[in-house]
Amino acid sequence: MSEYRQPRISDADALDMLKNMPTAELMARADALRQARHGNKTYYVHSHNLNPTNLCVVKCKLCSFWRPEGAADAYITSLEDARKNLERAQNWNLTDLHIVGGMIPELDLKYYEDLFSLAREMLPGVLLQGMTAVEIHWIAGNAGISVRECLERLKACGFGSISGGGAEIFHPDVRKKIATTKILAQQWLDVHRTAHALGIPTNATMLFGHIEQDEHIVDHLSRLRALQDETGGCRAVIPLPFQANGKALGVKYTPTGDRQVRVAALSRIYCDNFPHVRMLVNYMDRKLLGVLTHSGVDDIGGTSLDERIAKAGGAPQSQKFFSAEEMEAFLVNHGHQPVLTNSAYENVILDAGGLKTDGTAADEPSAYRVASTTPKWKTILDNVEQGNRLGFDEAVELLENAPFQQLGRVANLKRHQAVPGDTATYVFDKNLNTTNVCVTDCKFCAFYAKPESKRAYTLTPEQVVEKVKNAAAKGATQILIQGGLNPDLKLDYYEACLSGIRDNVDIWIHSMSPTEIEFLAQEENISIKECLQRLKDAGLQSLPGGGAEILVDDVRREISPKKTRSKAWLDLMEEAHGLGMKTTATMVYGFGETAAQRVEHLMKVRELQDRTGGFTAFIPWSFSPNKTDLECPRIQNGVDYLRMIAMARLILDNVPHLQAGWVTEGPDVAQLALQFGADDYGGVLMTEEVVSATGLSYGVDEAQVVNMIREAGYVPAQRTTQYDLIKIYGEEPELATDG
């Protein structure tokens, strides 16, 4: 065994990586460095935020938190108010109290000395941190003293660490536009340099995703690395994604998942003298955060209770953690060893008196080593890269043991072989559910209702046609009609719906899952082929792949005992292909099935495609157990999804298109799927009821889809159901949103 080492990269190397290196490869390099330093340890804090005021004389253009004097929601926290706030937090077993806020003359150095003294008294053993370099510089100037004296006085009152905020982007071309009234980059660095000389550890941030360019990011990281070379006093570099929802700066979009992963990975690779790379959970979707922990990030921040600044910027509050236990479970689910620490990375212990630090470091270097022998998965993946077809056992080995970033690297190459060029597509469609009444009683479904249920509904054919007309008028080119297995709806009902659409609306009818068609054939006592032909004659043009779930009967008997068996699903698809109808194939994974069972599903799809060539695309998505009757041994995450996307591309070498699924995975992780083998972002769904019944509520509009594809490095293109291109987007302005 030998240690993993990487020579230091130059600014030019860093810029080239950020601009040109494939995302999966960048993630793999960063993750190897993270593993070399920390093994599978991942750090987090249990923190409470106290923001003394949202009034501020600086009035930064990039900030959505500050308020002008006289604003209805402006506030100042008195010391008595702070006492009441801290009283609530005394039994929370905190590791950190994070104090940061606006700058006004009323809150002077004396106020902060009293505040820190009060906090030290009320929360003994808790790390008192925060106070950005901007605040410290301003308070010192307001008091007419040096930064050093200011820090010494605050330290004497219990102040223990500078959080690192206020750095934004150092380059003057950007800083003068977004933070004109803030201190200069050199002044920010000087405050941290002084803190390090006084033995005060600090963190260092970088706010990205607004108006900066790649060159500005590398310049910023270069200055941080130089400071760390000089002092060694920084504990973590923290890339902060700008929150566009707060409307500051007039920036339309928060940086996408691909951008966040790339910047975090580069931070790990380039800032080789920083022990930690931290991303903050209160800034992002949890599935994306999980992927980031395999992209160089070893610290996910903390609970950040009562946090207001990111919230004001529009950060997604639904993704926050509210307890240390919740964060620990999240990390375990991603294969990490959770380490509760504080922002100075000290060991934290829990005894009868609550959480305390023992003064020792929580982040001693790991004993991780890289194997000197070539693992089995590497040989298999090399063979796939050279053009060899995967066998069953080889595919299981890859799924079980290969790093998902390496799978993604090769899957991305295969994607470009299958779909040459730089376009990535999407379809503008509407999902329409005719009925939620279903007698199948699938344990994994939160959508269906029993016939006698008060929430049961069924649309008339006239209502179906009217809804499709409205969708087409708004730009939809595809209608996907599906519903429950309702014994009151016979074949003539569906013929009326289909023919009504065919005769009145110019839209492609991509509808009726194999499960529904099999049910109808049984109800009518006719063959599958006759049922398909009648539906086709009525207007049905292609079939979605719903109802496949896992095409392994041992799994199907557990999750949907009344549903069609795997052979029936495959036979029906083969009949449809024989009638000249194209179809898609799907897979829902995460029911507790084995890797071998997932591979079996993919192999069955590949074998049928070898015979018929009738599948246009494959679409995998993860099972969402909320509000269903099925217990799951483990919740699927974004890493699992990217692994499945990559494996689908590697195994299904005869299915041309692979579709990402933002409905279950979220827009950011779905975008990353475009770097892991997917060539299609899926649909701009005008309505969706089945997945949303589980409580998932992701949503995108067409402008966002175009931006996601463009930010992933591809040319966005709207397509038809059959993957003919309708419109290719160049560099023209984004589409208008519905709002």
Taking only the tens place, the pLDDT of each residue in 426-464 is: 999 988 888 887 776 555 555 556 666 666 788 898 999
Neighbours of 709 (CB within 10 A): 24
* Strand partners for 622: 589
pLDDT of residue 98: 94
What confidence score (pLDDT) does residue 135 get?
94
Highest mean pLDDT among 152-161, 306-315, 629-638: 152-161
AA identity, residue 605: V
When pLDDT is averaged across residues 512-531 and rounded to a whole number, the result is: 93
Instruction: For residue 125, list its beta bridge partners.
Output: none
| Nearest alpha carbon to residue 412 among 404, 285, 588 | 404
User: Looking at the predicted structure, is the pLDDT value of residue 213 above 70?
Assistant: yes
List the structure tokens of 608: 């049928």
Tokens 């080593």 correspond to 369
559: its two tokens: 């999750």
**CATH among 3.90.950.20, 3.20.20.70, 2.40.128.20, 1.10.260.40 for 11-361:** 3.20.20.70
* 170 vs 364, more confident: 170
> pTM here?
0.90
Residue range(s) in the chain whose domain bears CATH number 3.20.20.70: 11-361, 392-728
CB-based contacts of 386: which residues, under 8 Å, 6+ apart? none
Q: In the prediction, which pLDDT does 738 show?
A: 39
Instruction: List C-alpha distances in Å: 201 to 7, 109, 172, 564.
Output: 26, 20, 26, 62
For residue 221, what are the CA distances in angstroms to 12, 38, 170, 210, 225?
Answer: 12, 21, 9, 16, 6
Q: Report H helices in 505-562.
A: 514-524, 528-538, 553-559
Confirm if 2 and 370 have CB atoms less than 8 A apart: yes
CB 33 within 8 A of CB 368: no
Instruction: Return the number of other C-beta atoms located less than 10 Å from residue 293's C-beta.
Output: 26
Which CATH number is 392-728 given?
3.20.20.70
Sign of the CA dihedral 588, 594, 596, 600? Answer: negative
Whole-angstrom Cα distance, residue 154 to residue 159?
Answer: 5
Tell me the pairing of strands 508-509 and 478-482.
parallel
Distance between CA atoms of residues 671 and 469, nearest Å: 30
- Average pLDDT, rounded, for the chain: 89
pLDDT for 222 beyond 50: yes
Predicted pLDDT at 237:
98
Residue 477 near residue 624, CB atoms below 8 Å = no
User: 366 burial class (0-12, 13-18, 19+ CB within 10 angstroms)?
Assistant: middle
Residue 599 in this model has a pLDDT that exceeds 70: yes
Residue 630 pLDDT > 70, yes or no? no
For residues 672 and 678, what is the distance between their CA atoms, to the nearest angstrom? 9
Mean pLDDT is lowest, of 83-97, 122-136, 312-326, 335-349, for: 312-326
Percent of the chain with pLDDT over 70: 89
What is the average per-residue pLDDT within 697-708?
Answer: 82
Residue recorded with tokens 């557990």:
558
Q: Which helix (H) or strand (E) holds 115?
A: helix 109-122
